[in-house]
């Protein structure tokens, strides 16, 4: 059974969701989402941004998630609530209290996520009345999940969902938002993942860390790691089925990968979806470091925007990596053409056809068994346009 991008967080049993227009955004678009775990279980896990400047909702949710259980998560677009001081933290706390109030649970069971402009307070009247409206709109149908996925969008051009069922009768669904500031150790990105599998909080936490390491952590659009990044998973146990740990990780990774591919495909100004595979390094970690340096290099990214298989810029970029390199062993293959072969020019670069949307770069260090693949995009006029015109 393949992945279904028309379903999301409400597809697994035991979840309701809503996405409403609270008036946080001037545009009147949907801007507040609520996802509720209706049980019977309440296992939860999350991974957060590694940025040292963390938004108030991240500081709050990190505390809440220490318990490993959640009743609900409330999310807003239209404001990141980052760099807002103690007042911003109070705003997050008040939002969680309000959700706890309408759901008749404790605030400690409510995670909060925000996305949008840094440094501005949220319009709390709109947020709090929005929670009432979201509670009233909670449903378990497909539209409710789509509304929630839509309400978290900022510069995203479309909502991004994924769902897949396991043949044993349980499933995993989710949504994600993010289009720029996508980088190492999570993108500017909020993701909510739900499952009706019966998994305890320890299993869920370990599975989420394994899955994000191979998916969200491998996306690097512009080196930016936001103040607000959060990937949150909740398990209802409503299917009554307890999957094996390995098969749960496998399906979770599949859903996360599908969400990441959608982030890559909808990145700001994207005209190329680029896969940078680095292999032959001394370690996987070295390969990851090199892959990110190539993925973040503006000269590489602009060359690819120009459909130019300019391998010299790739060689230049990787030469900056703090890892073992023997230039005489380096090879670079672009879309199947070995343009650099053991330190010098290989096949004619003109043979590498980059006219399509997908570009595959394989760099071989010839030193060991390390390998990693980073997903990135090109640097286009549209990227500059969006990011010079939009305050985010």
According to CB under 8 A, which one of 330, 337, 367, 372 is a site residue for its own copies?
330
Q: Which two tokens stand for residue 64?
A: 């809440």
Q: Determine phi and psi for 265, rounding to 5 degrees.
A: -70, -20
| Residue 118 interacts with its own copies (CB under 8 A): yes or no | yes
Minimum Å gap between C-beta 97 and its own copies is: 22
**CB-based burial of residue 149 (10 Å sphere; 0-12 exposed, 13-18 middle, 19+ buried)?**
buried
268 is annotated as contributing to ligand binding = yes
**CB-based burial of residue 245 (10 Å sphere; 0-12 exposed, 13-18 middle, 19+ buried)?**
middle
Among this protein's residues, is 215 annotated catalytic? no
Minimum Å gap between C-beta 266 and its own copies is: 17
Sign of the alpha-carbon dihedral angle for 114, 46, 72, 56? negative
154 is annotated as contributing to ligand binding = yes
Size of site (CB under 8 A) for its own copies: 66
| Residue placing its CB nearer to its own copies in the complex, 10 or 84 | 84
Q: How far apart are CA 56 and CA 81, in angstroms?
A: 6
Q: How far apart are CA 39 and CA 58, in angstroms?
A: 24
Query: Residue 108, Cβ neighbours under 10 Å: how many?
Result: 15
Map residues 291-310 to x or -, x wherever contact with its own copies holds by CB under 8 A: -----xxxx--xx-xx-x-x
Q: How far apart are CA 274 and CA 353, in angstroms?
A: 14
According to CB under 8 A, which one of 127, 172, 252, 321 is a site residue for its own copies?
321
Q: How far apart are CA 348 and CA 79, in angstroms?
A: 49
Q: How far apart are CA 87 and CA 56, in angstroms?
A: 9
According to CB under 8 A, which one of 3, 102, 206, 316 is a site residue for its own copies?
316
Map residues 162-181 to x or -, x wherever contact with its own copies holds by CB under 8 A: ------------------xx
Q: Contact region for its own copies (CB under 8 A) — 6-14, 16-24, 61-69, 84-92?
A: 84-92
Residue stretches of the annotated binding site: 154, 177, 188, 268, 387, 392
Residues that bind its own copies (CB under 8 A): 50-54, 80, 82-85, 87-88, 117-121, 180-181, 222-227, 296-299, 302-303, 305-306, 308, 310-313, 315-321, 325, 327-328, 330, 339-340, 343-345, 349, 379-381, 383-385, 387-389, 391-392
């Amino acid at each position: 059974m393949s992945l279904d991008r028309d379903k999301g967080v409400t597809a697994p049993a035991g979840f309701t969701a809503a996405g409403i227009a609270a008036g946080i955004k001037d545009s009147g678009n949907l801007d507040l989402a609520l996802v509720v775990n209706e049980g019977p279980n309440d296992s939860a896990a999350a991974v957060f941004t590694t940025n040292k400047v963390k938004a108030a909702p991240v500081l709050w949710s990190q505390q809440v998630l220490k318990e490993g259980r959640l009743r609900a998560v409330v999310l807003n677009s239209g404001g990141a609530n980052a760099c807002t001081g103690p007042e911003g933290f109070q705003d997050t706390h008040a939002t969680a209290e309000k959700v706890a109030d309408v759901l008749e649970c404790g605030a400690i069971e409510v995670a909060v996520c925000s996305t949008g402009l840094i440094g501005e307070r949220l319009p709390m009247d709109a947020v709090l009345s929005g929670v009432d409206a979201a509670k009233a709109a909670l449903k378990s149908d497909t539209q409710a999940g789509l509304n929630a996925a839509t309400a978290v969008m900022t510069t995203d051009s479309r909502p991004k969902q994924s769902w897949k069922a396991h043949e044993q009768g349980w499933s995993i669904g989710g949504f994600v938002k993010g289009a720029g500031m996508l980088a190492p150790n999570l993108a500017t990105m909020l993701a909510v993942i739900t499952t009706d599998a019966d998994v305890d909080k320890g299993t869920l936490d370990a599975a989420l860390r394994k899955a994000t390491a191979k998916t969200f952590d491998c996306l690097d659009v512009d080196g930016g790691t936001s103040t607000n990044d959060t990937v949150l998973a909740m398990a209802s146990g409503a299917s009554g089925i307890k999957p094996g740990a390995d098969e749960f990780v496998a399906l979770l990774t599949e859903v996360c990968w599908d969400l990441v591919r959608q982030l890559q495909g909808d990145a700001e100004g994207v005209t190329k979806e680029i896969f940078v595979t680095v292999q032959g390094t001394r370690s996987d970690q070295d390969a990851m470091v090199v892959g990110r340096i190539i993925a973040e290099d503006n000269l590489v990214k602009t060359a690819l925007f120009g459909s130019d298989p300019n391998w010299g810029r790739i060689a230049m970029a990787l030469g900056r990596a703090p890892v073992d390199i023997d230039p005489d062993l380096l090879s670079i293959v672009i879309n199947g053409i070995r343009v650099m072969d053991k330190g010098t020019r290989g096949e004619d670069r003109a043979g590498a056809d980059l006219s399509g949307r997908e570009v595959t770069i394989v760099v071989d260090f010839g030193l060991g068994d390390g390998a990693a693949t980073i997903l990135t995009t090109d640097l286009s006029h549209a990227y500059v346009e969006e990011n010079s015109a939009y305050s985010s």
